[in-house]
């Protein structure tokens, strides 16, 4: 559920900051981006269909009581609600306790966010580039009528990448008032997607086979910005989908709706496609291969008509799952 800077904006930033890149992550509120998938196989490996039992069916309808409804009715403060959702997620709680996420802010004002940025950057980057870095970051957010209208984490910039700078997750004013996310579990799902970005941004990525993604890979040109964007989203959508499938299949919860799940699954496929399309250099190839191994728990097999089929080997299970793309 994420979109980066527009290409033009990215180019502009790249021009201003030679030998640096912008890793700003932007999610349009509610993630209502329709991604049209071309038909055809996306499988990276094939399976003998005989070894697969009947696909899991998902008939997820939202039934549970949700605190988000109280926010929508005006009976619960948005920031209080977000704080409660953070407490419900052990993953988010731990990452905040570890100091990797500095906070989750609902509809911060621009001066407030500027100050927060200054807070996490001070002492981590030189005085000479501090204000410039803050200004560059602030211009990366879509701002309408003086309000930030994106879900994003911050700060994200090559000059601050991988040097243990904590992120803020920023939620725009209408985040809790769209069709997706519609439930408490869906809100947590979005926050956990952003959590993965925060972790990946905090320290260099290290794969089990020893392949790493380090800041110098960007300045040397071994890794491009579009590749890194696709890599980050692949990792975040995978983790989000793993969490959502666990909710649906293991906990058998009805609190992840088909629109949310479908959107997540679609974006996951899309991010893998982008990763493959943007893999060009030898280092990118090494990272891509290590990444595909890491996400082998959920493999897109094919897209027939409107249905996405995945093979998942997770939670001690090995099965196919069919997911419809949903409407949002
Ligand atoms: Zn993202």
Give residues whose Cβ lies within 5 Å of ion ligand 1.
Answer: 2, 236
> Separation of 128 CA from ligand 1 center, angstroms?
30
Pick the more confident residue, 14 or 52: 52
Question: From the centroid of its chain, how far is CA 39?
Answer: 24
- The rounded distance, in Å, linking the Cα atoms of 270 and 166 is 28
Output the CA 216–ligand 1 centroid distance in Å.
Answer: 23
Report the distance separating Cα 245 and Cα 56, nearest Å.
11
Helix (H, G, I), strand (E, B) or coil at 242: helix
pLDDT of amino acid 64: 62
Residues 264/39, Cβ–Cβ less than 8 Å: no
Distance CA 180, CA 174 (A): 11
Give the pLDDT score at 67: 95
Q: Which pTM was predicted?
A: 0.81
CA 306–ligand 1 middle distance (angstroms): 24
Spatial CA neighbour of 260 closest among 22, 66, 16: 66
Residue 246: partners with Cβ closer than 8 Å, 6 or more residues away: 314, 315
41 phi, psi to nearest 5 deg:
-80, 140
**Could you give the CA distance from residue 218 to residue 136 in angstroms, rounded to a whole number?**
18
Q: Report the percentage of the chain scoring pLDDT > 70.
A: 79
DSSP classification of residue 44: S
Which pLDDT tens digit goes with each residue over 34-60? 222 222 333 333 333 334 445 565 555
Compute, in angstroms, the gap from residue 60 CA to the centroid of ligand 1: 24
Range of lowest pLDDT (253-262, 267-276, 285-294) = 253-262
> How many Å lie between the centroid of ligand 1 and the Cα of residue 39?
24
């Amino acid at each position: 559920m994420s979109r980066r800077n527009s290409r033009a904006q990215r180019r502009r930033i790249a021009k201003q900051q030679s030998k640096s890149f912008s890793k700003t992550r932007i999610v349009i509120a509610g993630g209502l981006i329709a991604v049209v998938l071309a038909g055809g196989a996306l499988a990276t490996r094939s399976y003998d269909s005989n070894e697969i039992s009947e696909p899991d069916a998902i008939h997820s309808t939202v039934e549970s009581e949700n605190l988000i409804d109280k926010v929508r009715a005006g009976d619960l403060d948005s920031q209080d609600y977000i704080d409660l959702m953070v407490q419900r997620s052990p993953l988010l709680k731990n990452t905040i306790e570890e100091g990797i996420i500095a906070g989750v802010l609902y509809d911060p004002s621009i001066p407030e966010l500027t100050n927060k940025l200054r807070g996490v950057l001070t002492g981590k980057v030189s005085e000479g580039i501090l204000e410039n870095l803050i200004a560059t970051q602030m211009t990366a957010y879509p701002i309408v009528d003086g309000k930030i209208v994106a879900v994003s984490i911050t700060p994200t910039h090559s000059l601050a990448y991988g040097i243990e700078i904590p992120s803020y997750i920023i939620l725009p004013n209408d985040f809790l008032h769209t069709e997706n996310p519609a439930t408490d579990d869906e809100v947590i799902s979005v926050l956990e997607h952003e959590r993965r970005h925060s972790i990946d941004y905090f320290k260099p990525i290290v794969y089990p086979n020893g392949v790493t993604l380090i800041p110098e890979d960007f300045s040397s040109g071994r890794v491009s910005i579009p590749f890194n964007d696709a890599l980050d989203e692949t990792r975040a959508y995978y983790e989000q989908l793993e969490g959502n499938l666990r909710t649906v299949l293991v906990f058998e919860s009805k609190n992840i709706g088909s629109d949310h799940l479908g959107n997540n699954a679609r974006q996951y496929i899309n991010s893998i496609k982008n990763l493959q399309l943007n893999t060009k250099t030898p280092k990118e190839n090494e990272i891509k291969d290590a990444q595909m191994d890491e996400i082998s728990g959920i493999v897109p097999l094919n897209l027939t008509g409107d249905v996405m089929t995945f093979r998942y080997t997770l939670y001690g299970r090995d099965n196919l799952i069919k997911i419809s793309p949903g409407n949002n």
